[in-house]
Amino acid sequence: MKRNTMSYKIRQYLMFAGPATLLFCGVVVIPLVYGFYLTFTSWDGISKSKPFVGITNYIAAFGDGAFWVAMGRTLIYSAIAVILVNVMAFLLAYMVTRGIKGQNFFRAGFFIPNLIGGIVLGYVWKFVFNSAFVAIGENLNIGFLKNSWLGTPSGAMACMIIVAVWQYAGYMMLIYVAGFMSVSKSLIEAAQIDGCTQSQATWKVIVPLMRSSFVQCIFLTITRCFMVYDVNLTLTEGGPFNSSVMAAMHVYRTAFTEHAYGTGQAEALILFIVCAIVGVTQVYIGRKGEVSA
């Protein structure tokens, strides 16, 4: 059979990419299309009938004040977490690429928190904030540790941010490590010959050449923070007084607790569009700012 024929190319595609394509369609494309269809129905998630209601669910979603409050809270949480995660990840990457003793051990250690599931992570840190820190505060007479931070709205948000930094910094660190290692040592040596100090070479040579690493880390952190649910559920449960309910948790409650599945799907689609815009922006900025070798 000739290799340039259409039938040969189709067979090759089905052989190598067919299973992945079927899996992608089954877990991504079909649920997405079906979810979009449900936004035009008043399905309660239980009954067999799915009455068509047009754009009523979208009107309800845009008029849901609690949803937009949750979106605003998610935006604030994401903005703070993104900055702290990437600053911490960059500093860790800088530290473990300087040739310090045991740097491979530190890389593995910093990455481990990312391997822990969000559900387990939330329960572990809930114990830390409710019991461990309180016990330390009482025994050492440290005022701000005597009461659980999860008991106040601002404290609950701070706890969410702390856990996000602890969980994501190690993963982003690996991307920054790859960025550091991709910079040619000859460029750094040339800068030092020209009179640059180590810090000047870092900020004026290495950092500009790591643009793609910064873009990837920033937007990966943004999308992860916007879609946070598991840690939100197990760490704060949306409390106190619904002050830490993020967008994903509000969508879940609307769909599965209030049984307004159509409205919940409409709000989920809005959240998906926001994340898609972030992803498209990432690709655009990444391609626009590519540095030719």
Per-residue DSSP letter, 29: I
- For the chain, the residue count is 293
Tens of pLDDT, residue by residue over 88-122, are 999 999 888 887 788 888 888 888 888 888 888 88
Cα 21 from chain centroid (whole Å): 25
Say if 171 falls within a structural domain: yes
Residue that is written with structure tokens 């309180």 in the block: 134
Say if 155 falls within a structural domain: yes
213: domain range?
66-288
Q: Please tell me the total count of domains within the chain.
A: 1
Supply the pLDDT for residue 3: 65
CB 188 within 8 A of CB 182: no
Tens of pLDDT, residue by residue over 218-268, are 888 988 898 899 999 999 988 888 889 999 999 999 988 888 889 999 999
CB 180 within 8 A of CB 93: yes
Distance CA 182, CA 208 (A): 12
Kind plus residue range of the DSSP H or E element containing 22: helix 18-24
Share of the chain above pLDDT 90, in %: 38
Distance CA 78, CA 72 (A): 10
Distance CA 92, CA 169 (A): 8
CATH number of the domain bearing residue 257? 1.10.3720.10
Average model confidence (pLDDT) for the chain?
A: 87
Say if 39 falls within a structural domain: no
Say if 196 falls within a structural domain: yes
Tens of pLDDT, residue by residue over 145-175, are 888 899 888 999 999 999 999 999 999 999 9
Cβ neighbour number for residue 237 with a 10 Å cutoff: 16
CB 149 within 8 A of CB 62: no
3-class SS of residue 52? strand
Supply the pLDDT for residue 125: 92
Say if 45 falls within a structural domain: no
Say which residue, 7 or 290, is predicted with more confidence.
7
Tens of pLDDT, residue by residue over 62-71, are 999 999 999 9
pTM of the model as a whole: 0.85
Average pLDDT of the residues in 130-145: 87
| Crossing angle for the helix pair 103-111 and 153-182, to the nearest 10 degrees | 140
Say if 293 falls within a structural domain: no
Say if 117 falls within a structural domain: yes
Distance CA 35, CA 87 (A): 37
Distance CA 263, CA 59 (A): 9
Cα 18 from chain centroid (whole Å): 29
Say if 148 falls within a structural domain: yes
